[in-house]
């Protein structure tokens, strides 16, 4: 258990270090508190023994440890209001009705990345609430046609389908069958329904059923897949903990690996903070993330920055966005 003074010191060190990225000495702290630098040093020693502070070398000032940051975000952090300009910028995005939800997310996280100089990730999936509304096809040439799928929530997806050697009539028959049988099905149940209900039926009516079934199966599995987008990646370069190119390389290669990035998915509904080793990304960063869910899409939004991160601000911004999109 920390004394009030120890908490004050820890808080000041975290805030100061976030601001200036230089180890914080006792002198700076004692100016803020009503005590001498020696007293502060004694307290600092205790805080270090508790594992909340670290030194970069024997005679350096103190730097918060991961445990120190953890204590800070759990007990000391104060959430401030967003300022008017930030809210205004975000509102123009939220009010643009022409944008789809995923665009809204990407654009608002662009703004956040701009404001904060951190990097954002949007992991987006079509919500299970989406029900198939309509399948239509447009032949492009004798080998290829385009399948267009629309859900009741307004999601539109399309994909080329290879149908070499299948007559257009056969295709139309199949589409009619599928439409009749699975319109109204939630998209995550389509694959199963396709296999157990549609496959047997089209087998009876359609000659090239094997080929067509596979083509549609591909189209549907493809369409219900996850989407990952990284925003403001260059902001990584702005932080001094990434002034050496090899660290940049490392983090960039992780931000590029879309399939690994899917692991960032957050199940929890709160805004969660993963400091350093608490996240799988890199021990050098903090990841702050939350869930979102609307009737149309669901997924995770995450902000990534150095551990020396403006925690209050990021939490606030994520909270604001989550509330806005979930309406």
Binding site for a copy of itself (CB under 8 A): 97-100, 133-134, 136, 138, 140, 143-146, 148, 150, 152-154, 156, 158-162, 164, 218, 234, 237, 242-245, 248-249, 252-253, 256
Q: Counting contacts by CB under 7 A, is residue 247 touching DNA?
A: no
Nearest to a copy of itself of 30, 112 (CB atom): 112
Say which DSSP state 57 is in.
Answer: S
Which residues have a Cβ under 8 Å from the Cβ of 180 and sit 6 or more positions away? none
Rounded CA-CA distance 155/123 in Å is 16
CB 120 within 8 A of CB 230: yes
Nearest to a copy of itself of 152, 265 (CB atom): 152
How far apart are CB 296 and a copy of itself at their closest, in Å?
Answer: 8
Q: Counting contacts by CB under 7 A, is residue 41 touching DNA?
A: yes
Among 4, 57, 80, 267, contact with DNA (rule: CB under 7 A): 57
- Residue 1, CB-side half-sphere exposure with 13 Å CA sphere: 2
Exposed / middle / buried, residue 307 (Cβ in 10 Å: 0-12, 13-18, 19+)? buried
How far apart are CB 55 and a copy of itself at their closest, in Å?
Answer: 26
Partner whose binding site includes residue 37, from DNA, a copy of itself, none (CB under 5 to 8 Å by kind):
DNA
Among 20, 31, 51, 60, contact with DNA (rule: CB under 7 A): 60
DSSP 124-185: EEE-TT-BEEEEEEEE-SSSEEEEEEEETTS-EEEEEEE-TT--HHHHHHHHHHHHHHHTT-
Q: Counting contacts by CB under 7 A, is residue 61 touching DNA?
A: yes
Nearest to DNA of 26, 286 (CB atom): 26
Rounded CA-CA distance 301/290 in Å is 6
> Shortest CA distance to 242 belongs to which of 282, 277, 280?
282
Nearest to DNA of 28, 248 (CB atom): 28
Among 20, 45, 237, 245, contact with DNA (rule: CB under 7 A): 45
* 320 phi, psi to nearest 5 deg: -60, -50
Nearest to a copy of itself of 23, 139 (CB atom): 139
DSSP β-bridge partners for residue 186: 131
Stretch that binds DNA, among 59-67, 77-85, 295-303, 311-319 (CB under 7 A): 59-67
Partner whose binding site includes residue 252, from a copy of itself, DNA, none (CB under 5 to 8 Å by kind):
a copy of itself
């Amino acid at each position: 258990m920390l004394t009030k003074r120890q908490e004050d010191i820890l808080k000041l060190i975290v805030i100061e270090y976030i601001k200036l990225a230089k180890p914080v000495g006792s002198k700076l702290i004692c100016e803020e508190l009503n005590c001498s630098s020696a007293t502060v040093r004694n307290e600092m020693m205790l805080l270090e023994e508790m594992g909340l502070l670290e030194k970069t070398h024997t005679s350096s000032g103190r730097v918060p440890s991961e445990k120190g940051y953890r204590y800070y975000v759990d007990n000391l952090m104060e959430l401030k209001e967003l300022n008017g300009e930030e809210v205004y910028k975000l509102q123009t995005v939220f009010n643009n009705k022409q944008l789809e939800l995923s665009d809204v997310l990407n654009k608002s996280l662009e703004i956040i990345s701009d404001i904060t100089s951190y990097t954002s990730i949007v992991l987006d999936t079509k919500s299970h609430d989406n029900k198939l509304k309509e399948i239509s096809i447009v032949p492009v040439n004798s080998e290829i046609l385009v399948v267009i799928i629309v859900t009741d929530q307004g999601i539109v997806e399309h994909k080329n389908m290879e149908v070499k050697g299948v007559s257009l009539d056969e295709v139309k028959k199949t589409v009619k069958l599928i439409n009749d049988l699975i319109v109204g099905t939630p998209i995550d149940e389509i694959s199963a329904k396709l296999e157990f209900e549609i496959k047997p039926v089209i087998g009876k009516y359609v000659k090239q059923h094997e080929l067509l079934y596979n083509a549609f199966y591909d189209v549907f599995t493809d369409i219900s897949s996850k989407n990952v987008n990284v925003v403001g990646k260059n902001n990584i370069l702005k932080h001094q903990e990434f002034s050496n190119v090899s660290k940049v390389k490392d983090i960039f290669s992780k931000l590029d690996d879309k399939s690994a990035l899917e692991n960032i998915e957050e199940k929890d509904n709160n805004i969660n903070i993963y400091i350093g080793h608490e996240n799988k990304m890199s021990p050098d960063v903090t990841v702050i993330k939350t869930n979102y869910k609307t009737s149309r899409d669901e997924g995770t939004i995450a902000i990534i920055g150095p551990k020396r991160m403006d925690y209050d601000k990021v939490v606030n911004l994520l909270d604001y966005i989550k509330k806005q999109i979930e309406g």
